[in-house]
Amino acid sequence: MALAELCEKLEETSKRNLMVSVVTAFLERLSPDEVEPAVSMILGRPFPRWSPRVLDVGWTTLTKIIRRLTKTNWKVFSQAFSETGDVGSAVKAVFEASKPYRQATLLEKPLTIMEVRRSFESIAEASGAGSREKRERLVEALLSAAEPLEAKYLVKILIGEMRTGFHEGLMELAVAKAFHVPLEDVQRACMMLGDVGEVAALLKTGGKEALSKVGFRVFRPVRLMMAQTAENVEEALREHGGETAFEYKFDGARIQIHKDGAAVRIFSRRLTDVTQSLPEIVELVQREVKAEKAILEGEVIAVDADGKPMAFQHLMRRFKRVRGIEETRRRIPVRLFLFDVLYLNGQSLIHEPYVERRRILSETSGEIPLANQLVTGDAQAAEQFLKMALDEGHEGLMAKRLDGDYTPGIRGKKWLKIKPVLEPLDLVIVAAEYGYGRRHNWLSDYYLAARDAETGRFLVVGKTFKGLTDEEIIEMTRRLKELAVKEEHRRVIVTPKIVVEVLYNEIQKSPKYECGMALRFARISRIREDKTPEEADTIQKVREIYEKQFLKKGR
């Protein structure tokens, strides 16, 4: 109950200092074995970030369990959700409205942090025949022992929707304060171990001295270094002092490869284990990387029969696969390009300059290709290199500062990405949905449509909640409500009147929409008050742009 009450306090305030203070005090009171589970749960995770365990409990399953437990009219949930836009708060309302749902013996035994962790472990370990039913029984047992406030936060953890505003950076600060160590030491340890909960547990048992011994651990994914955006090669050269290393930016999936002897594991950009989905990459690393222990970074791309890069969506089918891998492997072959090495045979390399890491990588990678590179201070040569990358079907370039170290978890200017933007589209909003959290009263998720020049119909090509300011969203909500013709739960269908300019990364094939296409990473760049719906771009133009992509990409 104490952890649920803490989360409620965090949700009720936006004052960062107050958030850090209450979490600091809470951490100080915990026993050593409670620290990591508590930190994970406060951040909305059932397990440490590096853990491969998953609960595999969906909202449909939870709905069935909650209805069975509470025997409450589901209108209570719908009303609470409409008022708050928060699933956990709606669950709490249902539990409060229900008749007693726990046995009298359970009322005398409050849930503890360790009991909840053990329940999560049991749920994650359920496998084999009857595993779904077993998971349901375990979730029902857990929720039946919960008070309404506890149920609220258990459900938020189960479905990954904590949304208290207390993020990882604030937790690092709370851990530093709770255990009286410099924030920089906590951040460094988090970079190495990949999980602030484990760092907190180390401090609880071993103090500052325990942190001084922390280093990389193979099979514990490290937070990725991130890049900022540069408008062009000239800006990248200016930022990096007149000379930099340009590399191809692939339209693929960034991966982190961990090797210890013959054992290889692969982690995605989100640090989830995707080893099973990429068996040929495992085999390639086992065959070519001769180092005993290593942590490498690279990019995986899907390719067609001619070796041309295929659209990102094809690659994602590989990452989501855990069954039928051999058939998928045959249909969607992949290639690996390495571009960095973080750790080699017991030595951290993140403080080495980029050029040195690249040299070590080239000596370590065997026959695995490295990302195409051009080190230059000549803008014209860089432009030609960019054109080569685009002509070969890639996204653009990365620019990497020659003397730059590797800063896990940091988005800085040591790495810059240069991606020419596709021609924006003028599209019409035909429907909108209410948002979540602080946006739950606003229509902030927009359905974007192009006009069919032949029929005059508007065909949806994507959705976005990105691009508008709060003030613009509030005004857009007012305008869309005036244009509303139908409401379907949280979605409002509107007369197609408002035109917006939309940026996107590419156009994908998609069975989701009638037109068969969807914009990837759509975001509104401005509201086109100067355009009527009849002046919006046509579905024929969208299809033309889609087809042009395959002049340089494989299908």
pLDDT per position as a tens digit, 11-29: 888 889 999 999 999 999 9
What is the C-alpha to C-alpha distance for residues 343 and 361, in angstroms, rounded to an integer?
Answer: 10
What is the C-alpha to C-alpha distance for residues 136 and 141, in angstroms, rounded to an integer?
Answer: 9
To which residue do tokens 């295929």 refer?
Answer: 310
Tell me, yes or no, if the two domains 226-418 and 425-551 fold the same way.
Answer: no
Structure-model confidence comparison of residues 166 and 100, the more confident one = 166
pLDDT score, position 323: 66
Considering the segment(s) 45-159 as one domain, its CATH architecture is Orthogonal Bundle (1.10)
Least confident residue range of 81-95, 102-116, 303-317, 449-463: 102-116
pLDDT score, position 299: 95
Structure-model confidence comparison of residues 101 and 41, the more confident one = 41
Q: Whole-number mean pLDDT of the chain?
A: 89
Q: What is the model's pTM?
A: 0.73
Q: How confident is the model at residue 555 (pLDDT cuts 50, 70, 90)?
A: low
Structure-model confidence comparison of residues 549 and 508, the more confident one = 508
pLDDT per position as a tens digit, 432-450: 999 887 788 899 999 999 9
Return the number of other C-beta atoms located less than 10 Å from residue 424's C-beta.
Answer: 16
Instruction: Check 92, 152, 249, 414 and give the catalytic one.
Output: 249
In this model, does residue 267 exceed pLDDT 50?
A: yes
Structure tokens at 40: 């994970």
What residues does 137 pair with on adjacent strands?
A: none
To which residue do tokens 């659209």 refer?
Answer: 311
Percent of the chain with pLDDT over 90: 55
pLDDT score, position 552: 65
What residues does 471 pair with on adjacent strands?
A: none
Q: Are strands 226-229 and 411-418 parallel, antiparallel or unpaired?
A: parallel
Residue 509 annotated to the active site: no
In this model, does residue 49 exceed pLDDT 70?
A: yes
Four-point Cα dihedral 141, 144, 147, 153, nearest 10: 50
What residues does 347 pair with on adjacent strands?
A: 344
Least confident residue range of 69-83, 273-287, 398-412, 498-512: 69-83
pLDDT score, position 103: 46
What is the C-alpha to C-alpha distance for residues 229 and 416, in angstroms, rounded to an integer?
Answer: 5
In this model, does residue 462 exceed pLDDT 90?
A: yes
505 secondary structure, DSSP code? S
- What residue spans define the domains of the chain? 45-159, 226-418, 425-551
Please tell me the CATH superfamily of domain 425-551, with its number. Nucleic acid-binding proteins (2.40.50.140)
pLDDT score, position 409: 81
22 φ, ψ (degrees, to nearest 5):
-70, -35
7 and 13 in contact (C-beta within 8 Å)? no
Q: How many CA atoms lie within 13 A of 385 on its CB side?
A: 24
pLDDT score, position 102: 47
Percent of the chain with pLDDT over 70: 96
pLDDT score, position 106: 46
3-state SS assignment for residue 316: helix
Cα 253 to chain center, whole Å?
A: 12
Highest mean pLDDT pick, 8-17, 220-229, 287-296? 287-296
Return the number of other C-beta atoms located less than 10 Å from residue 454's C-beta.
Answer: 9
272 and 287 in contact (C-beta within 8 Å)? no
382 and 376 in contact (C-beta within 8 Å)? yes
In this model, does residue 100 exceed pLDDT 60?
A: no
Query: 226-418: what fold?
Result: D-amino Acid Aminotransferase; Chain A, domain 1 (3.30.470)
Mean pLDDT of 89-104: 74
Least confident residue range of 48-52, 185-189, 368-372, 446-450: 48-52
pLDDT per position as a tens digit, 309-340: 887 767 777 776 566 677 778 888 899 999 99
Dihedral of CA 418/421/422/428: which sign? positive
538 and 453 in contact (C-beta within 8 Å)? yes
Task: Show Cβ contacts of residue 448 under 8 Å, excluding neighbours closer than 6 positions.
Answer: 427, 428, 429, 430, 460, 461, 462, 463, 464, 500, 502, 519, 522
* Alpha helical stretches, state H, 126-273: 131-144, 148-159, 168-178, 183-193, 196-212, 233-239
Mean pLDDT of 159-170: 84
pLDDT score, position 61: 85
Please name which of 264, 272, 319 lies closest in space to residue 291, comparing C-alpha atoms: 264
To which residue do tokens 């990102």 refer?
Answer: 312
